[in-house]
Amino acid sequence: MTDFEMDPIIEQIAHEARRPVTMDRDARDRLLMAVRAEPVPARPRRGWGSLVEPRTVVVTPSYLTALAAGLVGIGVLVGMGTKLGRDSRMTGQPQVVAAPQLPASDTVVTFVFVAPAAARVSVVGDFNQWNAGATPMTRVGNSAFWSVTVPMSVGRHTYSFFAVGSDGEKWSADPFAPAAPDDGFGRENSVVLVGRGSAL
């Protein structure tokens, strides 16, 4: 037997509480009408509206940490995805030919080109994947000479000069180097033979 059952006052209160409450029917109807008269709360906006509606954002250090971690995670996943995509284009399998690594440099070669009217000149060849923007040359003082020194691996390399001037873009072979046969694209390239510590 508990202490509550032993107390007669508490026993009386409990008895009153258990007694069914009789409610006036009109009062119940008034209550329901009042509830129905209340405006319906607006449903949260979806789609674009929810993204652009103004809101107050409370930024806490833990929120920032979580956001940074999430961004890094997404970046890693996207990076993995694009790498796999790039590699798998070769044969459709993950293990395929990767982009060739740039050869280790065995020596340096200085290219010189004469183009008095050019605004920009670059040397373009198999050593920079024929990228016209990869190896820009610099004008030597105020002269007509352009030059650049490029680290290169031993072997035979083909190249050409790419000049941009007021008359447009122009590909030119090196007049002082052996000519490579027709490139197949209607232009002539040149050859540089790189030996250990020397180049022709």
Residues contributing to the site for other proteins (CB under 8 A)? 44, 46-48, 50-51, 71, 74-75, 78-79, 81-82, 85-86, 89-91, 96-97, 99-100, 124, 126, 129-132, 155-156, 158, 171, 178-185, 187-188, 191, 193, 200
How far from the centroid of its chain's Cα atoms is residue 102's Cα? 23
CB of 195 to other proteins, least distance (A): 8
CB of 126 to other proteins, least distance (A): 4
* Among candidate residues 159, 144, 145, the one with its CA nearest the CA of residue 194: 159
What would you measure as the largest C-alpha separation in the chain, in angstroms?
Answer: 120
Q: Which is nearer to other proteins, 31 or 76 (CB)?
A: 76
Q: Which is nearer to other proteins, 118 or 192 (CB)?
A: 192
Q: Which is nearer to other proteins, 94 or 181 (CB)?
A: 181
CB of 142 to other proteins, least distance (A): 29
Q: Tell me which amino acid residue 47 is.
A: G
Q: Which is nearer to other proteins, 118 or 125 (CB)?
A: 125
| Residue listed under structure tokens 């070669």 | 109
For the record, the structure tokens of 142 come out as: 């105020």
CB of 140 to other proteins, least distance (A): 24
178's CB contacts (< 8 A; 6+ apart) are: 190, 191, 193, 200
CB of 5 to other proteins, least distance (A): 49
Phi/psi of residue 166, each to 5°?
-65, -20
198's CB contacts (< 8 A; 6+ apart) are: 107
Q: Which is nearer to other proteins, 94 or 184 (CB)?
A: 184
